[in-house]
Amino acid sequence: MIVVLDHAIRDDDKSRLHSFLVEKGFQVREIVGEEETILGAVGSVAIDIREVELRPGVQRVIPISKPYKLASRELKKSDSIVQVGPIKIGGPRIAVMGGPCAVESEEQINEAARIARESGAVVLRGGAFKPRTSPYSFQGLGEEGLKLLKSAGERHGLPVVSEIIAPRYVDMFKEYVDLMQIGARNMQNFELLKAVGATGRPVMLKRGLAATIEEWLMAAEYLLAHGTEDVLLCERGIRTFETYTRNSLDISSIPVARKLTHLPVIVDPSHATGIREQVPPVALAAVAAGADGLIVEVHPDPEQALSDGPQTVFPGQFEKLMRDIEALAPVVGRELTRIPRERSTPDGGASLGTSVGSRGVGDAADSGAGASSGARGDASSGTPIAYQGERGAYSEMALVRFFHDTEFEPIPSRSFRDVFDAVLAGRAQFGIVPVENSLAGSVHENYDLLLQYPDIHIGGEIKIRVEHSLIGVNGSSIGEIKRVLSHPQALAQCDEYLRGFDWERVPFYDTAGSVAHIVSGGDASVAAIANVRAADVHGATVLKEGIETNPSNYTRFVVLIPGEPSWQEGANLASIVFSTPDRPGALFHAMELMAKASVNLKKLESRPIAGKPWQYMFYVDLELPTGKAEFDSLLDTLSGEVSDLRLLGVYRAV
């Protein structure tokens, strides 16, 4: 059952309630959400729920109808985040695990780890104990294989996953492995599930060859019930009458599982197909269907692999797949998880867990605690980050996705200037603002503010897809609407849909703010246009999703950091601003110097100089050359040919 607690419950009442449930024979887990705190009480215990409802501090009690209690969405509405070493899997990120089917030698697993890491994988896979259909097939190197796997992972900064096949190996795996894998053939090996669950370690549970989704979730329940809180579900294809592929990937199981459970869903396209040429398209299909990650077999020389060579991709195929996933991720509102990199913050303290410019990995939507769905823990303890707009604004979405690697406190701001002021005054450690939309063009106000605030620079960039929805108050319908509110740009971007109705279009300062406004008014005849998250945040109803005229609508956001810009390892972009002498060819000559330095010009924007009519500053985004020395040389050369040259930032675009 789910015990919903009063917001004002006293600590001693909560403690007594917890003890009461445990004494009755329940396993109890506290889940702190953004709106409410609950106790999940699970166990084969008969109890009159009125005994619980009448206790101090209890708001209400809700029975869990599903046979899988701890894995059910009824218990936990928000997506769970599973941490594997420094990597967090779930939420808006896509985590890719890569490596060979089996560890064969020190040289082979180290080379596979290098390939996986450089291509963008964040977890190294490798089998040491191989349950094979034939007793004469390669069975793995056993403990020696685990040692080699762990060593390769540490050398390349990757946590490791390997399959455990028997309870007697639990202590061994605890020593070497970050993520224990339960294979398809062992999905209902309940003694193994109990032993692995009792370790409390993260577990990846593969779906059995002929298992229903409910049986799969019941197996996950064994793991959760015996101690671990971190379970990944892995869809790897099921046995059907089709013989062309090794198995049949049940693509529909991905959205179904995500609806039924809060646990992240990983897909194994290698075992699903058994054919290396089919792995990339099936992997991309899994991402499009909502998978939280992939586990892909890649080998330095698949044709010489001792296990599963035909389904193992070549290094070049894996590298291209990672690029394709990175391109696809924004379309489905996700992003590719990256390995964290350390750096110092401007005040010399610890970083946010990763470099802002090189991006990292982590939690974008944890348990829902904090000031935002995305902020972790107590909001007052998080890093303050300013953005323009109300809760649920697109700027907040960009913030959550970029800073998913840390605990943070979102700071809503009325205007873009307020964001800059908050960063400059130290009320926010970072800020995030839009600078360009793929349809509407540049946000000129923020280009001007970058020039007006010389003590703030750009430290990162992220693009998000803009998806507009028609949102009304709870209980309203499209037929009742007479007026629709939103930012003028959003109204324009939904013109084709709005033309089908005789509604008054009312400009509003912010998309998410328009949702908050209609909710406070409670008028069913007034609707707003914003993203679906704004509806969830403000307690409104989505009446129609995807009403934007052009689905290829993206906004580019930059992260603001106080202080002077400096070179960042891993950065791929730089932004500069300058003016040119009033003579023919001055701008062309500056562009010529960049071309001679083999620097690719990504964007050029001109803005008038305040107080100097008909004179302009030029904002330029550059693709960085190979190293710091080359870039410094270019700046030195440019400074002799242009005026007022200023470096706005050196950063990584993700």
Structure confidence at residue 92 (pLDDT): 79
Q: Is 555 a catalytic residue?
A: yes
Under a CB-based contact definition with an 8 Å cutoff, are residues 489 and 440 in contact? yes
Question: Of the given ranges (85-89, 204-208, 249-253, 515-519), which has the lowest mean pLDDT?
Answer: 85-89
**How would residue 358 be classed by pLDDT, with cut points 50, 70 and 90?**
very low
Under a CB-based contact definition with an 8 Å cutoff, are residues 555 and 394 in contact? yes
Question: Of the given ranges (248-262, 485-499, 594-608), which has the lowest mean pLDDT?
Answer: 594-608
CATH number for the domain including 514? Answer: 3.40.190.10
Residue 543 has φ and ψ, to the nearest 5°, of -90, -30
Average pLDDT over residues 220-238: 94
Average pLDDT over residues 546-569: 89
What kind and span of H or E run contains 385? strand 383-388
Under a CB-based contact definition with an 8 Å cutoff, are residues 351 and 561 in contact? no
Tokens encoding 316 = 């070049």
180 and 263 in one domain? yes
In angstroms, the CA 520 to CA 538 distance is: 9
CATH number for the domain including 31? Answer: 3.30.70.1140
321 and 174 in one domain? yes
Highest mean pLDDT among 157-161, 350-354, 440-444: 157-161
194 and 305 in one domain? yes
Average pLDDT over residues 282-297: 97
In angstroms, the CA 573 to CA 577 distance is: 14
Q: One-letter amino acid identity for 400?
A: V
Query: Which pTM does this prediction carry?
Result: 0.65
Radius of gyration of the chain (CA): 27
pLDDT of residue 65 exceeding 90? no
Domain boundary (46, 62, 78) is at: 62
110 and 46 in one domain? no
pLDDT of residue 123 exceeding 60? yes
Packing angle of the helix pair 586-596, 628-639 (nearest 10 deg): 160
Residue 580 covered by a domain: yes
In angstroms, the CA 15 to CA 5 distance is: 12
Residue 288 covered by a domain: yes
Residue 505 covered by a domain: yes
Three state DSSP letters for 121-145: CCEEECECCCCCCCCCCCCCCCHHH
What is the chain's length?
Answer: 654
Residue 211 covered by a domain: yes
**How would residue 76 be classed by pLDDT, with cut points 50, 70 and 90?**
confident
Average pLDDT over residues 256-273: 96
pLDDT of residue 52 exceeding 90? no
Question: Of the given ranges (107-116, 290-299, 367-376), which has the lowest mean pLDDT?
Answer: 367-376
Can you name the residues that pair with 574 across neighbouring β-strands?
622, 650
Highest mean pLDDT among 69-73, 336-340, 611-615: 69-73
CA geometry: angle 184, 188, 191, nearest 5 deg: 120
pLDDT of residue 158 exceeding 80? yes
Question: Of the given ranges (129-143, 345-359, 483-497), which has the lowest mean pLDDT?
Answer: 345-359
Structure confidence at residue 344 (pLDDT): 32
Instruction: Looking at 136-189, list the stretches that DSSP marks H as alpha helix, in order from N- to C-terminal side.
Output: 143-156, 170-176
**How would residue 179 be classed by pLDDT, with cut points 50, 70 and 90?**
very high
In the three-class reduction of DSSP (H, G, I as helix; E, B as strand; rest coil), residue 368 is classed as coil
Structure confidence at residue 641 (pLDDT): 87
177 and 276 in one domain? yes
pLDDT of residue 364 exceeding 50? no
Distances from the Cα of 37 to the Cα of 72, 613, 641, angstroms:
17, 59, 62
Structure confidence at residue 34 (pLDDT): 58
| Active-site position among 199, 228, 354, 555 | 555
130 and 7 in one domain? no
Name the residue among 493, 492, 396, 379 with its Cα closest to residue 92.
Answer: 396
Domain boundary (336, 352, 377) is at: 336
168 versus 41: the higher-pLDDT residue is 168
Half-sphere exposure of 200 (CA within 13 A, CB side): 0
| Active-site position among 129, 430, 508, 557 | 557
Tokens encoding 414 = 């009325």
Domain boundary (336, 351, 366) is at: 336
Exposed (0-12), middle (13-18) or buried (19+): which is 13, by Cβ within 10 Å?
Answer: middle
Under a CB-based contact definition with an 8 Å cutoff, are residues 25 and 41 in contact? no
171 and 142 in one domain? yes
pLDDT of residue 66 exceeding 60? yes
**How would residue 376 be classed by pLDDT, with cut points 50, 70 and 90?**
very low
Q: What is the pLDDT of residues 574-583, one digit of tens each?
A: 999 998 888 8
Average pLDDT over residues 522-538: 94
Residue 382 covered by a domain: no
In angstroms, the CA 98 to CA 122 distance is: 8
Q: What is the pLDDT of residues 211-221, one digit of tens each?
A: 999 999 999 99
Distances from the Cα of 368 to the Cα of 77, 393, 535, angstroms:
9, 17, 16
Average pLDDT over residues 379-393: 82
**How would residue 136 be classed by pLDDT, with cut points 50, 70 and 90?**
low
Structure confidence at residue 293 (pLDDT): 97
**How would residue 356 be classed by pLDDT, with cut points 50, 70 and 90?**
very low
Under a CB-based contact definition with an 8 Å cutoff, are residues 553 and 493 in contact? yes
Residue 44 covered by a domain: yes
Residue 321 covered by a domain: yes
**How would residue 632 be classed by pLDDT, with cut points 50, 70 and 90?**
confident
In angstroms, the CA 200 to CA 46 distance is: 27
Which structural domain range is residue 57 located in?
2-62
Considering its fold, how many domains does the chain have in total? 4
Report the b/e string of 349-385 with b at 16+ CB within 10 A. eebbbbbbbbbbbbbbbbbbbbbbbbbbbebeebbbb
CATH number for the domain including 629? Answer: 3.30.70.260
Residue 583 covered by a domain: yes
Average pLDDT over residues 106-112: 97
Q: Is 26 a catalytic residue?
A: no
99 and 206 in one domain? yes
272 and 123 in one domain? yes
Name the residue among 448, 445, 620, 647 with its Cα closest to residue 563.
Answer: 647
Average pLDDT, rounded, for the chain: 87
Residue 455 has φ and ψ, to the nearest 5°, of -95, 15
In angstroms, the CA 248 to CA 251 distance is: 9
pLDDT of residue 361 exceeding 80? no
Structure confidence at residue 54 (pLDDT): 84
CATH number for the domain including 175? Answer: 3.20.20.70
579 and 477 in one domain? no
109 and 35 in one domain? no
What's CA 124's distance to the chain center, in Å?
A: 19
591 and 483 in one domain? no
In angstroms, the CA 415 to CA 388 distance is: 6
